[in-house]
Amino acid sequence: DGATSDQLAKKLKVKLKDMIDKCLDINLLIKSGDYIGIQLANEIAALYDYRAENVAFDEDKVIGKEQLSDEDKSKLPLRNPIIAIMGHVDHGKTTLLDHIRNAKVVNEEAGGITQHIGAYSVKAGKSTLTFLDTPGHAAFASMRQRGADVTDLVVLVVAADDGVMPQTRESVKYCNNAGVPIIVAVNKMDKEGINPDRIKSELADIGITPEEWGGDTQFVPISALKGDGVDDLLESIALQTEMLELRASDKGNVEGVVIESKIEHGRGPVATILVQSGTLKKGDSLVVGETFGRARSLTDHLGKQLSKAGPSTPVQILGLDEAPSPGASVDVVKNEREAKKIVANRVAERKKLEETPKAKVSLEDFFAMAADDGKETKELNLIVRSDVQGSFEAIKQAVLALSNSEVEVRVIAGGVGAINDNDVNLADSSGAFILGFNMRPNTTARRLAEEKSIDIKTYSIIYELINDVTLAIEGMLDPDT
């Protein structure tokens, strides 16, 4: 009971491009490959005086472009790994990032001056490694909360004279949750009277066991201050990330994420975008979170002007209307007029939801009802946010279908648009989980979620979202049934 936008256009005997344009007129952003549920299909069909009936449901297509077969995936070009540095305060993250940047970023053209754009790339053997240039646990945690799970590998810096500290533990927890592999850099090895074995056993206690003790984590002793061991560290990173065989298409839809943004005097809003898939080109019209514009220039971390940027390339762009929030997703659209329209819709959708507190009230009613009937069934309440109506419907149908005799899945709120304050408040009062699909929290919602410790999960692959919900349900099942 659904189909992709392409299939629907075919059924309606119109060009997809035509249908997309027509949908925009009713404030609907649809892309090729989007899943269209029956209800939405009917709305679109009505634009052409058709009625949609049982449009073929094609499971593969629901998942869309992201879900390539393993064989297809293995044909995509390799991309550079994205590396983040984490660890406790004062353990040497900044010193390490600075050392790598100064020692390894070679700038043949502009005389060695590197620009801080939020990320940089360095050569290590035949690999090129892209480092996120934002140390510190807080920056990272909030990046993650915005859904910007862009990191392929984390270098966990642990000072040999201090050992495992609270933020070391938090970093490990983050990596475990996100499934990101770790390499431990045992730092400050130049100091007197330190005992690296103590560091190893402290980390082994929290599940990070060194290879030489039969575990699977590489430990590299370094001095970020003096530079000792940093080459070994880079080599270890290169080797481990080569084994991950990271791939991304440089063709097709551009997917990217904002890693840093600011307003610069005389230049206006500047944003550093990390392209994750596809190729961003100079002149592209962009929708970035709740702002839009045209990529007037692309600049790399060496200050070099680029005409395009493929996967794993961080570029600073000029030409946006406002500074987008870090973590915002990047879409390339047909033209600026369309971009403006989409952003206006996003903002309007968000405002509309923020202004209607009725979801909360009805939820309380619902709880009262649930308490009254004394049913045994547990409920898993979800708030789902998505970039387009099509994927929202697809997700909703898929998660509702996961309900079983013990756990009932409910989508209590959501829709198209960024995760907003209202969603966070609702999650807080109802114990619901917030799931974003190609959607991340806006700035204020992010802050609110941090304050209230509401976990927001975001996905760009429907399958992964469904999988997580499945796991949550399994976690709720009665152990003795």
The C-alpha atoms of residue 404 and residue 259 are separated, in whole angstroms, by 40
- Report whether 88 belongs to an annotated binding site: yes
Pick 187 or 442: Cβ nearer ligand GDP:
187
- Please tell me the count of residues contacting ligand GDP according to CB under 6 A: 16
- Report whether 457 belongs to an annotated binding site: no
- Report whether 282 belongs to an annotated binding site: no
Give the per-residue contact string, 122-141, with ligand GDP (x = CB under 6 A; - = no): -------------x------
The yes or no reply on residue 441 touching ligand GDP (CB under 6 A) is no
The yes or no reply on residue 223 touching ligand GDP (CB under 6 A) is yes
| Binds ligand GDP by CB under 6 A, chosen from 137, 144, 188, 200 | 188
Least distance from C-beta 261 to ligand GDP, angstroms? 22
The yes or no reply on residue 61 touching ligand GDP (CB under 6 A) is no
Residue list 282-311, contact with ligand GDP (CB under 6 A): none
Least distance from C-beta 97 to ligand GDP, angstroms? 8
Residue list 315-354, contact with ligand GDP (CB under 6 A): none
The yes or no reply on residue 461 touching ligand GDP (CB under 6 A) is no
115, amino acid identity: Q
Pick 93 or 396: Cβ nearer ligand GDP:
93
The yes or no reply on residue 221 touching ligand GDP (CB under 6 A) is no
- Six-digit token string for 51: 């009625």
| Binds ligand GDP by CB under 6 A, chosen from 187, 217, 325, 389 | 187
The answer to whether 248 touches 277, Cβ cutoff 8 Å, is yes
- Report whether 92 belongs to an annotated binding site: yes
Q: What is the CA radius of gyration of the chain?
A: 24
The yes or no reply on residue 90 touching ligand GDP (CB under 6 A) is yes
Q: Candidates 86-94, 175-183, 290-298, 314-322: pick the segment binding ligand GDP (CB under 6 A).
A: 86-94
- Report whether 279 belongs to an annotated binding site: no
Pairing of strands 305-306, 291-299: antiparallel
Least distance from C-beta 224 to ligand GDP, angstroms? 4
| Binds ligand GDP by CB under 6 A, chosen from 31, 79, 93, 396 | 93
- Report whether 301 belongs to an annotated binding site: no
Pick 95 or 425: Cβ nearer ligand GDP:
95
The yes or no reply on residue 402 touching ligand GDP (CB under 6 A) is no
Least distance from C-beta 122 to ligand GDP, angstroms? 18
Show the 3-state SS of the chain: CEEEHHHHHHHCCCCHHHHHHHHHHCCCCCCCCCEEEHHHHHHHHHHCCCCCCCCCCCHHHHHHHHCCCHHHHHHCCECCCEEEEEECCCCCHHHHHHHHHHHHCCCCCCCCCCCCCCEEEEEECCEEEEEECCCCHHHHHHHHHCCCCCCCEEEEEEECCCCCCHHHHHHHHHHHHHCCCEEEEEECCCCCCCCHHHHHHHHHHCCCCEHHHCCCECEEECCCCCCCCHHHHHHHHHHHHHHHCCECCCCCCCEEEEEEEEEECCCEEEEEEEEEECCEECCCEEEECCEEEEEEEEECCCCCEECEECCCCEEEEEEECCCCCCCCEEEEECCHHHHHHHHHHHHHHHHHHHHCCHHHHHHHHHHHHHHHHCCCCEEEEEEEEECCHHHHHHHHHHHHCCCCCCEEEEEEEEEECCECHHHHHHHHHHCCEEEEECCCECHHHHHHHHHHCCCEEEECCHHHHHHHHHHHHHHHCCCCC
The C-alpha atoms of residue 253 and residue 460 are separated, in whole angstroms, by 13
| Binds ligand GDP by CB under 6 A, chosen from 56, 89, 206, 476 | 89
| Binds ligand GDP by CB under 6 A, chosen from 32, 67, 94, 127 | 94
Query: What is the layout of strands, in order, in the sheet containing 127-132?
Result: 119-124, 127-132, 82-87, 153-159, 182-187, 219-221
The yes or no reply on residue 116 touching ligand GDP (CB under 6 A) is no
| Binds ligand GDP by CB under 6 A, chosen from 8, 224, 353, 424 | 224
Q: Candidates 62-70, 87-95, 246-254, 399-407: pick the segment binding ligand GDP (CB under 6 A).
A: 87-95
Least distance from C-beta 187 to ligand GDP, angstroms? 5
The C-alpha atoms of residue 236 and residue 241 are separated, in whole angstroms, by 8
Q: Candidates 223-231, 234-242, 334-342, 388-396: pick the segment binding ligand GDP (CB under 6 A).
A: 223-231
- Report whether 134 belongs to an annotated binding site: yes
The yes or no reply on residue 165 touching ligand GDP (CB under 6 A) is no
Least distance from C-beta 194 to ligand GDP, angstroms? 10
- Six-digit token string for 215: 């575990």
The yes or no reply on residue 190 touching ligand GDP (CB under 6 A) is yes
Q: Candidates 14-22, 82-90, 169-177, 433-441: pick the segment binding ligand GDP (CB under 6 A).
A: 82-90
Which residues contribute to the annotated binding site for GTP?
87-94, 133-137, 187-190
Binding site for ligand GDP (CB under 6 A): 87, 89-95, 135, 187-188, 190-191, 223-225
Which residues contribute to the annotated binding site?
87-94, 133-137, 187-190
